[in-house]
């Protein structure tokens, strides 16, 4: 339940504020969740997805990591959509969510075509490991 991302900047400004003020602002900062927390969550999910793509050997798990990356981007879009909704009194407030729907559509299409390629390859070489997929390597 500790919001590290609010603690660090408050402590950075500690020289200018009195100690009691720092304590007050820390409590206030820990117990509310703003858009920064969503950005941190989505950044972490993105990094985990990139790690999966770069290191795993199974093609299907790599595709799942790509889905994870797209999902992280969707969290960003939805959070910013809500943020803009509250700032703009409802004007153009749903564009972020509509963009999210398009991202989901493209992710579904990408997964379908990618898995088709995996099946076609498995029929030829009986493997799904990326370092054995080297038919076009010279």
- Which residues, numbered 57-96, are part of the site for another protein (CB under 8 A)? 57-58, 60-61, 63-65, 67-68, 71, 74-75, 78-79, 81-83, 85-90, 93-95
Return the bridge partners of 58, or none: 129
Question: What 3-state class would DSSP assign to 51?
Answer: helix
Choose, by CB under 8 A, the member of 7, 22, 41, 73 that binds another protein.
41
Could you tell me the smallest distance in angstroms from the CB atom of residue 70 to another protein?
Answer: 10
- Which helix (H) or strand (E) segment holds residue 124: the answer is helix 95-125
Pull the structure tokens for residue 93.
């407030």
Q: Binders of another protein among 89-128, rule CB under 8 A?
A: 89-90, 93-95, 97-98, 100-102, 104-113, 115-120, 122-123, 128
Residue 137 DSSP one-character state = -
């Amino acid at each position: 339940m500790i919001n590290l991302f609010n603690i660090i900047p408050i402590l950075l400004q500690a020289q200018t504020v009195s100690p009691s003020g720092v304590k007050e602002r820390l409590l206030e900062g820990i117990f509310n969740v703003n858009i920064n927390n969503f950005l941190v969550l989505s950044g972490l999910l993105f990094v985990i997805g990139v790690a999966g793509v770069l290191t795993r050997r199974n093609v299907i798990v790599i595709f799942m990591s790509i889905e994870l990356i797209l999902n992280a981007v969707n969290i960003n879009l939805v959070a910013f959509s809500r943020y803009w909704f509250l700032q703009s009194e409802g004007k153009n407030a749903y564009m972020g969510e509509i963009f999210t729907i398009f991202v989901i559509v493209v992710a579904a299409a990408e997964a379908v075509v990618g898995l088709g390629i995996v099946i076609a390859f498995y029929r030829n070489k009986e493997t799904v490991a990326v370092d054995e997929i080297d038919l076009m390597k010279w």
